[in-house]
Amino acid sequence: MSSRIEKVQDLLHKEIAKVIIKDLDNPLLSSLVTISGVKISKDLRYSEIYFTSLDDNKLIEKELNNASSYIRNILSKKIHLKRLPTLKFIYDESFVSSNKIDSILDSISKK
């Protein structure tokens, strides 16, 4: 992957996390959401933002995707890119599966 895409991904990761904490008026989102990763298409038009949460994942995913145009608007004022990608929020399942694997390994090691 090119270094430009990686830099844009890192920048978006940091800025989206800040926007969710500081600029959104939705208490469900601002306190319970952690951005775990960002993937951007090669043409910088689309992005998938992966998040984790301790609460209802489907509801939070719906709320984040409903707020994506507002978040994108705030990002456009903070980040100066020729083309700001569209944002699609997706719940990150990797943390759930890693916790399951850890618990299985713990139960095996105790035996």
Give the domain range for residue 49.
3-110
Cα–Cα nearest to 7, from 61, 79, 58: 79
Total domains, the chain: 1
The domain that holds 38 is classified in CATH as 3.30.300.20
Question: Which run of H or E residues covers position 86?
Answer: strand 86-91
pLDDT of 49 strictly over 90: yes
Is residue 1 helix, strand or coil?
A: coil
Residue with tokens 């509801």: 59
pLDDT of 88 strictly over 90: yes
Q: Please state, in angstroms and as integers, the Cα–Cα distance from residue 85 to each residue in 42, 57, 92, following that order.
A: 11, 23, 20
6-33 tens-digit pLDDT: 999 999 999 999 999 888 888 777 778 8
pTM of the shown model: 0.82
| Greater model confidence, 23 or 55 | 23
